[in-house]
Structure 1
Amino acid sequence: MAELILNRGAERRLKRGHLWIYSNEVDTKRSPLKGMAPGSQCQIRDSQGKLLGTAFVNPSQLICARLLSRKDSFTEVDVSERLLSALKQRQRYFDHPSYRLVYGDSDALPGLVVDRFGDHLVVQVSNWGMDQYQQVVVDKLIELVQPKGILLRNDHQGRAIEGMPLVNEVVYGEVPELVPFEENGVPLLAPVHQGQKTGWFYDHRENRRQLNRWVQEKRVLDLFSYAGGWGIQALANGASSAVCVDASQQALDWCKVNAEHNNFSDRLTSVQGKALDVLKAMVSEKERFDVIVLDPPAFIKRRKDHKAGLAAYHHINELAMRLLSRDGLLVSASCSMHLQSDELVDCVRGAAHRLGRRASILASGGQGADHPVHPAIPETNYLKAHFVHLG
């Protein structure tokens, strides 16, 4: 097996439990990256030659290797055992088979995501190394879960970045366009073939559960609604009405389908348009809402985007606050890994101060138990949500 020898001191992060190796940490004079095949395995050694483990390698990426094992090998048996471990962990903490079954590095399966929607599974593979074990993954999932169908959603940006082929296909059984599942006791349908990512965003499950306690008889605005994860659940928990806003008409059509699925289409309104434009129009029309959910896509995708992205969070939080009624509730969320939770709090503080309103943070949340945080990899802890009462 090929070897990658690290520069002196570069092993410290790995010894604390991290799994990523950056190209500038490799002693390329002693172990050239050039010529190594993407997805091949290599042994990682410190500058003194001590074995640190086995990794997948991709010499063309900034993260040029991902540690798989602290031993000198990684096999199909390891893949199978880790899939079983991930399943047992979810079964321990969830009473309904609707969850993220595999969450990449946190489940010691870098580059692999599996979402479970009851009897159906959606699989995503995002690096060359795990791609070689794709059939092993599918076969083991069939054995463990006995699903009715498995959809391979390998048509995402991560694969494009790695230079991998884009594929969207059913690899086992049958998978309908809209698959039934459940979140927080609410029956829903996920557009797994055409929707974003795997078709649903399970990561906000606990934050939605928190909000569901506080929506009775309230008028709710769900911004960046996608298929209605927040708004539909609010209606199911007694909200008087919900307005879902999204730039995609297709996403709003899925919202309507989920409203019909729960028999409360009469309480749902959808507005197609960019959130900023819709917010500005609503402000000019002096609209008011009791609850506003602000759950945008990542405004800070790369560290160098931090300044512009932070300004965008400040701006959109202030616009949303202008629509909140007296004693209203704002859910201010972010999925930007490069935005710290206290920075989002500062966006809320600054916006409230500029508007002369008193803000109180009632609760804060992150991702659910099916998106476990690896304690040595801060990058796995990306989601944050603050529940803000505005007097």
Structure 2
Amino acid sequence: MDAPVAVLAARRADILRHYRHPWVFSQGVLNTDRLREECTVQVKSEQGDHLGWAFYHPENAICLRMITFDNAPMDATAWKKRIADTLEMRRALLGSGVEGYRLIHGENDGFPGLKVDIYRDLIVAQLMCAGMEHLRPQMAQWLVEVTGCKAVYERSEGHARKQEGLKPAQGFIHEECPLPSRFKEDELEFMVDPSGPHKTAFYLDHRAQRRWLRARSHGKRVLDLCSYSGGFTLAALQGGASFVHSIDTSAHYLGMLAEHLNINGLPADRQKSTRADIFDFLKGKPDERYDLVVLDMPSLARSARAKPSALRTYRKLHQAVSGWVRPGGILVSFSCSKVVDRGDFRQSIFLGLRDCNREGLLIETFDSGPDHPIHLHFPEGEYLKGYAIYLK
């Protein structure tokens, strides 16, 4: 049986042919009324030229997610080779000793709607579109075969699934292992539990930033805002920080932080945890200002419509946090909101500091690292941006 064909308007076909962006919006498809729901389709121009293969969904504005621009559709051999290629790239860039890393970064790696993280022997997968949902059992099997990992845990939820009528899905989809699982990063051992209240088992995209902080923490007082399970806190203590104050709203993850201190033998007497909302916490006055402050906020804007509000919030936060950084101290601040670009985020930091008459010097920029590559055809794949600011 021939595969269904999505026919693109001439201009849209030309754009796809030249730019190879992995998303095609419904306005560019001429025959959506004749396509089956949630299937793999061949993509052609009005003139009948083959353009590639894609996942199709009639309910989503992004109705085509390109899988391949080759003539043949993806089969098991092709998918496994693509997985193997991403694994080879990570090992080449990170070294074979890294136990926690992102193996598949969605469209950037040629896997529309799929993110895969590895923690030693555990795979955590997030499936965000109906096309990838149909491949769930096969993809889990292929991932295990290629990587040699033992178990695959799915944690799929969020706005992208809702757009395609998919309910949240959570649980082991290939074998099982005890949770929490463990892995090492730079001689620190961390627990990861994808079944917990937060869908992210660990922030692998901050590996380089943790190393940066560790190298600059000796003898310093550090404030870790939105500390989660303690990645930055542990890195600072490992680097010889004199004191680290960790702030988070979650008692669960502050408990994990305490356990991380214990299993790594780090000095609990040089660390304090406070359960609080950072907006409320920053309204107070510090007894003593900090040498290093890390502000790692959750996403404040899920859509372009929320961007103006997010920028106002970033500005207010940076105004508030500046009072906690001593003159000559460093503020390290991050945004993971995709719709807020680097320039906008940097401007919000500047405006927040200006509002309280503080001057800052940008001394370092941060991104998500080589295991979270950004395909040049897909600028939407960039999400994490960060700055280290020296405050006068």
Please state how far the C-alpha of 1:341 moved relative to its aligned partner. Answer: 0.9
Please state how far the C-alpha of 1:306 moved relative to its aligned partner. Answer: 1.3
Within a 5 Å distance, the mapping from 1:282-293 to structure 2 comes to 283=285, 285-293=286-294
Deviations 1:173-221, CA, capped at 9 Å, x for gaps:
4322222112344222222221523411111211222222211111111
Within a 5 Å distance, the mapping from 1:44-55 to structure 2 comes to 44-55=43-54
Alpha-carbon separation, structure 2, partners of 1:198 and 1:123:
10
- SS of the residue corresponding to residue 136 of structure 1 reads helix
TM-score by length of 2: 0.93
Q: For residue 224 of structure 2, what is the amino acid of its counterpart? A: D
Report the counterpart of residue 142 of structure 2 in structure 1. Answer: 140
Please state how far the C-alpha of 1:60 moved relative to its aligned partner. Answer: 0.1
Deviates more, 1:381-390 or 1:286-295: 286-295
Task: Summarize the Cα distance change of 1:165–1:300 in structure 2 as closer, same or farther, 3 Å threshold.
Answer: closer
- SS of the residue corresponding to residue 314 of structure 2 reads helix
Q: Is the 8 A contact 2:336 2:384 kept in 1?
A: yes
| 1:66 and 2:68 matched | no
Alpha-carbon separation, structure 1, partners of 2:233 and 2:164:
35
Deviates more, 1:172-181 or 1:247-256: 172-181
Q: Is the 8 A contact 1:55 1:68 kept in 2?
A: yes
Alpha-carbon separation, structure 2, partners of 1:304 and 1:370:
30
Deviates more, 1:183-192 or 1:305-314: 183-192
Q: For residue 339 of structure 1, what is the amino acid of its counterpart? A: V
Alpha-carbon separation, structure 1, partners of 2:167 and 2:354:
49
Q: Which runs of 5+ in 2 are unaligned?
A: none
Deviations 1:119-162, CA, capped at 9 Å, x for gaps:
21112211111122222222222222322322222345543442
For this pair of structures, how many residues does the alignment match?
385
| 1:43 and 2:45 matched | no
Q: For residue 21 of structure 1, what is the amino acid of its counterpart? A: V
Q: For residue 113 of structure 1, what is the amino acid of its counterpart? A: K
Report the counterpart of residue 348 of structure 1 in structure 2. Answer: 349
Q: For residue 213 of structure 1, what is the amino acid of its counterpart? A: A
- SS of the residue corresponding to residue 11 of structure 2 reads coil
Within a 5 Å distance, the mapping from 1:80-119 to structure 2 comes to 80-95=80-95, 96-119=98-121
Alpha-carbon separation, structure 2, partners of 1:290 and 1:161:
44
Report the counterpart of residue 255 of structure 1 in structure 2. Answer: 257
Q: For residue 251 of structure 1, what is the amino acid of its counterpart? A: Y
| 1:56 and 2:58 matched | no
Identity of counterpart residues, as a percentage?
28
Within a 5 Å distance, the mapping from 1:322-361 to structure 2 comes to 322-361=323-362
Report the counterpart of residue 126 of structure 2 in structure 1. Answer: 124
Alpha-carbon separation, structure 1, partners of 2:280 and 2:133:
41
Please state how far the C-alpha of 1:105 moved relative to its aligned partner. Answer: 0.8
Q: For residue 45 of structure 1, what is the amino acid of its counterpart? A: K
Q: Which runs of 5+ in 1 are unaligned?
A: none
Alpha-carbon separation, structure 1, partners of 2:32 and 2:130:
19
Q: For residue 255 of structure 2, what is the amino acid of its counterpart? A: D
Report the counterpart of residue 178 of structure 2 in structure 1. Answer: 176
Alpha-carbon separation, structure 2, partners of 1:176 and 1:161:
33
Alpha-carbon separation, structure 2, partners of 1:334 and 1:125:
23
Alpha-carbon separation, structure 2, partners of 1:195 and 1:357:
37
Indicate the RMSD between aligned Cα atoms, in angstroms: 1.8
Q: Is the 8 A contact 1:76 1:133 kept in 2?
A: no
Report the counterpart of residue 377 of structure 1 in structure 2. Answer: 378
Alpha-carbon separation, structure 2, partners of 1:120 and 1:194:
15
Report the counterpart of residue 230 of structure 2 in structure 1. Answer: 228
Q: Is the 8 A contact 1:44 1:55 kept in 2?
A: yes
Task: Summarize the Cα distance change of 1:33–1:316 in structure 2 as closer, same or farther, 3 Å threshold.
Answer: farther
Q: For residue 362 of structure 1, what is the amino acid of its counterpart? A: I
Deviates more, 1:57-66 or 1:156-165: 156-165
TM-score by length of 1: 0.93
Q: Is the 8 A contact 1:156 1:197 kept in 2?
A: no
Alpha-carbon separation, structure 1, partners of 2:45 and 2:310:
37
Task: Summarize the Cα distance change of 1:308–1:48 in structure 2 as closer, same or farther, 3 Å threshold.
Answer: same
